[in-house]
Structure 1
Amino acid sequence: MPTSTSTSGSGVSPGGGKPGYRQLLRTPGVWAFLLPGFAARQPFAMLTIGMVLLVEHTTGSYGTAGATAAVTGVAMALCAPRGGRLADRFGQRTVLLPGVVLHAASVALLVTLALAHTPAWTLFAAAVPAGATVPQVGPMVRARWAVALNGSATAHPGANAALMTTAAAFESVTDEFTFVIGPVIATALCTGVHPAAGLIAEATLTLVGGILFATQTSTAPAPHPVRPGAAGKPASALSVPGVRALAVAFLGIGAVFGGMQVSLAAFTQEIDRPGINGLLYGTFAAGNMLAGVAYGAIAWRRSPRSRLLAAYAALALACAPLWAVHSVALLAPLGLLVGLCIAPALITGYTLVDALVPGASRTEAFTWLTGSVALGQAAAVTVAGLLADHAGSHAGFTVPLVGTALALVVLMGLRGRLVPRARGVIASGVIGHRPPVPVD
């Protein structure tokens, strides 16, 4: 059960302070990567909507626009873990610098093809590298938090274990804030300046923010290259059974994001009030942000595994009545409830990764989770769109329910794989151990 941060316990720092956002943001060196990291991850939220608005403008088809965006999402989901693994092996700067240049060039090519009214297949082809080169700044920031909190020789293990949950909550809130303001900026640019302005701004921010973030080498995790003569390559983070279980869980979370986006848009069209779509989705996103802030301010006594299972079960239950709601008065608070249930599942999943995988695979593990969300979202957007076209928005709202219910069944079956195993770390000739993790 949770206890407030005013309660003493294992999460108390050596100096008597309680783990919380104030203590977290006082961690030495974190602002060096937080500010450029925020700028570099902002374009990710602008990419999809900017692409949809530009392609729809040049082709007159939402179907072509949606398909182009879906290709981008799938390409990102499939390539992100490989990029994360390369960052673990060769360092974030080595991977990020050429990556942001390639991404900006790919987006520029897509813009050029769209404005030239080339066939749809050329847009799909250009969407592949645009998605494959999306810089995984969010996972890289999370990896830097782990280094900042766990790498200090004077760190207090109990306090840092609690602060890792706070850091995961902080990142969840940052991601959600990004996805609230990013689409607004992209939409304003596309409608008020030029249909291509959203994507041009996305590519520019990616390039500038990515370079600034990459230059902060002092806060980056040390690379773990394969040494000459070493037996084989380092195992993929996906070889860890717990990471596979979490990837399935995050597919279900992606189904909630994608299903809600399409179904809310379809619902507001059906009631002839499309203008409130932003309000309804904003309420859903606000629930996620509020829950993230509150979740990170609590010093939890329950194990991460039990918290994840409870949060995911609550999320599936919250999604259950969506398909039966046919009024704004009911859908708004229900959307808020769904949003409140997402953040605890996301935050606990990211917290578990740090305990499940070795530091040499941490960035890759984070990218498997973000890639799973993107893949689940791409699939949900497609399925919910087809269902809404043929049977109405209420049918589209079944996608979040089915996605979370199936993922919950898998998660329950694999719950035994979510218990971190103790592993030693050799440092300066002394064998150290991770802080003990509570087990159900």
Structure 2
Amino acid sequence: MTARRTVDDATDTPTAPDAAPARVGYGALLRTPGAWTFLAPAFVARLPYAMLGMGILMLVTGTGGSWGTAGTVTAVAAVAQALIGPQTGRLADRYGQATVLVPTVFVHAASVAALIVLANGHAPAWSLCLAAVPAGASVPQIGAMVRARWVAKLGAEGASASSAAKVGTAFAFESVTDELTFVVGPILAAKIATSVSPSASLITEAALTFVGGLAFAAQRRTAPARIVPRPGAQRVSALASPGVRLLAGAILGVGAVFGGMQVSVNAFADSVGQHAAAGTVYGIFAGGSMVAGVLYGVIAWRRAVQQRMITSYTLLVLGCSTLWAMPNLVTLSIAGLVCGLAIAPTLISGYTLVETLVADGAKTEAFTWLTGAIGLGLAVGSMVAGGLIDSHGPSAGFLVPAVGAGLGLAALVSLRHLLAPSGGASTVVAGSGAGAGTVPAAAEPQLVGAAKG
């Protein structure tokens, strides 16, 4: 089944700036025809995203490696994911999601198997890092692909305040789903690693990725139309937008929070003789974000999304600044919960903004740059936190979330003028309330035609 379109087909029907904010509930969103056909397999395929880092940490330490080595191997996998993920997103925009996703999950299963064999064979650290490259690079970018499907599905209803509100709610729902995977994933990985074996944890991760990825790829009817450039036309990357670069840089700080928390919570729990509790503590942190995401999605916001992101990011910095001083797992869980409350609003705002800054044919890539930025920040955060823990103790690792978030906020505040859409890249702005609505479609004569992928 094919579809033909050009980017000039969209119309500019801006909403009145003083119109009351539209609000769309989750129930109405989930009743969108065809939504569950891709949401269900997407959840299965996304769950391992939060299991991979925890699984690698527990595999390396469980087979005799140090926290520094474990953090480095985890970081290598995350860097590979951050650098290659946007390229797979760009290919998905061009050739279709299924075409990219199917070979990706096969590569992931094989590379995770190689990492398990090497770790259990007490191979040198450099070989573990080498195996971690394809393992991280082949993590399927399901979250970005699902968001692109929502934009395509809801954008087909036409540019209006209602469709804009639906996309905003969809992004909130996706953030909640992401956080749910971060609640369930680490706990599941830790439970399997401690009750069965560290290897079994990564085997489960690879199996879920493989099965969920193939099932998601099979849902071709809901895939966004791929944009085919005219012969000889140069394809412009989503990263060419200064606003996209700023958001990716700011989201690096959020990734540093994730990475620093993962390693530091594990090390802290281990230092007090409660290693199995690490997944629960990290899950509470992610649970706070999930709750905030649910609330964010049901509020009809009047404040502009740029202001919302700066506010939530400021709260994130304040929350992270207390983590290093927590004396036990109970207080650490409470502090992590408070810190997590700012995560989802920050990420929802970031994905909302990036959708307004790029044209239709680059949305999957744009979303993947933010996802990749999280992974890259996680990589750096894991590596730095692991080194600090080895040399100064587990509490020192919690300095990484505070510093990483602080740098991200500084970049966001100082360059916030770059977040205003120039010429309107999107027909539907993913948000609600003031500052949300519709934006003129970007004229892109080099992009013609589309086919379902």
Please give the range of the TM-score, normalised by the shorter of the 2 chains: 0.7 to 0.9
**1:23 corresponds to:** 28
Residue 108 of structure 1 deviates from its aligned partner by: 2.0
1:368-389 deviation digits (Å, cap 9, x = unpaired): 1111111111111221222233
2-side partners of 1:319 and 1:45: how far apart? 20
**TM-score, structure 2 as length reference:** 0.85
1:185-206 deviation digits (Å, cap 9, x = unpaired): 2333333334422222222222
**1:334 corresponds to:** 335
1:41-68 deviation digits (Å, cap 9, x = unpaired): 1122222222233333334544433322
Q: Does the 8 Å contact 1:422/1:434 carry over to 2?
A: no
* CA shift in 2, pair 1:336/1:57, >3 Å: closer
**1:397 corresponds to:** 398
- One-letter amino acid of the structure 1 residue matched with residue 97 of structure 2: Q
Which aligned pairs between 1:104-123 and structure 2 lie closer than 5 A? 104-123=109-128
Q: Does the 8 Å contact 1:165/1:348 carry over to 2?
A: no
1-side partners of 2:101 and 2:277: how far apart? 38
Q: Does the 8 Å contact 1:40/1:205 carry over to 2?
A: yes
**1:139 corresponds to:** 144
Residue 97 of structure 1 deviates from its aligned partner by: 0.9
* Residue 126 of structure 1, aligned match among 124, 131, 139: 131
- One-letter amino acid of the structure 1 residue matched with residue 222 of structure 2: T
Residue 130 of structure 1 deviates from its aligned partner by: 1.0
**1:45 corresponds to:** 50
Secondary structure of 1:126's counterpart equals: helix
Structure 1 runs (4+) greater than 6 angstroms displaced: 432-437
**2:193 corresponds to:** 190
- One-letter amino acid of the structure 1 residue matched with residue 34 of structure 2: G
Residue 390 of structure 1 deviates from its aligned partner by: 2.7
Is 1:295 paired with 2:296?
yes
Q: Return 5+ residue gaps in structure 1 as ranges.
A: 1-7, 13-17, 426-431
Residue 329 of structure 1 deviates from its aligned partner by: 5.4
* CA shift in 2, pair 1:110/1:241, >3 Å: same
Secondary structure of 1:224's counterpart equals: strand
Higher relative contact order (CA 8 A, sep 6+): 2
- One-letter amino acid of the structure 2 residue matched with residue 184 of structure 1: I
Residue 274 of structure 1 deviates from its aligned partner by: 4.5
2-side partners of 1:331 and 1:203: how far apart? 31
**2:72 corresponds to:** 67
* Residue 213 of structure 2, aligned match among 196, 203, 210: 210
Q: Does the 8 Å contact 1:46/1:185 carry over to 2?
A: yes
Which aligned pairs between 1:276-425 and structure 2 lie closer than 5 A? 276-328=277-329, 330-423=331-424
1-side partners of 2:276 and 2:338: how far apart? 22
1:105-164 deviation digits (Å, cap 9, x = unpaired): 212222233334433322221111111111111110111111111112xx5611121222
Deviates more, 1:100-109 or 1:51-60: 51-60
Residue 273 of structure 1 deviates from its aligned partner by: 4.9
1-side partners of 2:42 and 2:303: how far apart? 31
Q: What is the root-mean-square deviation of aligned Cα atoms in Å?
A: 2.5
Secondary structure of 1:285's counterpart equals: helix
Deviates more, 1:317-326 or 1:73-82: 317-326
2-side partners of 1:169 and 1:109: how far apart? 36
1:330-373 deviation digits (Å, cap 9, x = unpaired): 43332221111111111110111111111111011111111111
Secondary structure of 1:317's counterpart equals: helix
**1:148 corresponds to:** 153
Q: Does the 8 Å contact 2:101/2:213 carry over to 1?
A: yes
* Residue 78 of structure 1, aligned match among 60, 78, 83: 83
* CA shift in 2, pair 1:311/1:212, >3 Å: same
Which aligned pairs between 1:5-24 and structure 2 lie closer than 5 A? 10-12=20-22, 18-24=23-29
Q: Does the 8 Å contact 1:10/1:158 carry over to 2?
A: no
Deviates more, 1:276-285 or 1:80-89: 276-285
Q: Does the 8 Å contact 1:11/1:161 carry over to 2?
A: no
Q: Does the 8 Å contact 1:189/1:198 carry over to 2?
A: yes
* CA shift in 2, pair 1:423/1:321, >3 Å: closer
Is 1:172 paired with 2:175?
yes
Q: Does the 8 Å contact 1:384/1:399 carry over to 2?
A: yes
Q: Does the 8 Å contact 2:186/2:283 carry over to 1?
A: no
1-side partners of 2:279 and 2:208: how far apart? 24
Q: Return 5+ residue gaps in structure 2 as ranges.
A: 1-17, 437-453
Deviates more, 1:263-272 or 1:99-108: 263-272
**2:37 corresponds to:** 32
Aligned length: 418
- One-letter amino acid of the structure 2 residue matched with residue 380 of structure 1: G
1-side partners of 2:351 and 2:429: how far apart? 17
Residue 413 of structure 1 deviates from its aligned partner by: 1.6
* CA shift in 2, pair 1:76/1:434, >3 Å: closer
* CA shift in 2, pair 1:326/1:203, >3 Å: closer
1-side partners of 2:355 and 2:241: how far apart? 12
1-side partners of 2:264 and 2:59: how far apart? 22
2-side partners of 1:380 and 1:265: how far apart? 14
* CA shift in 2, pair 1:66/1:162, >3 Å: same
Is 1:223 paired with 2:226?
yes
**TM-score, structure 1 as length reference:** 0.88
Is 1:158 paired with 2:161?
yes
Q: Does the 8 Å contact 1:173/1:293 carry over to 2?
A: yes
**2:61 corresponds to:** 56
- One-letter amino acid of the structure 2 residue matched with residue 148 of structure 1: K
- One-letter amino acid of the structure 1 residue matched with residue 185 of structure 2: G
1-side partners of 2:228 and 2:126: how far apart? 39
1-side partners of 2:121 and 2:230: how far apart? 49
* Residue 98 of structure 1, aligned match among 103, 108, 122: 103
Q: Does the 8 Å contact 2:186/2:279 carry over to 1?
A: no
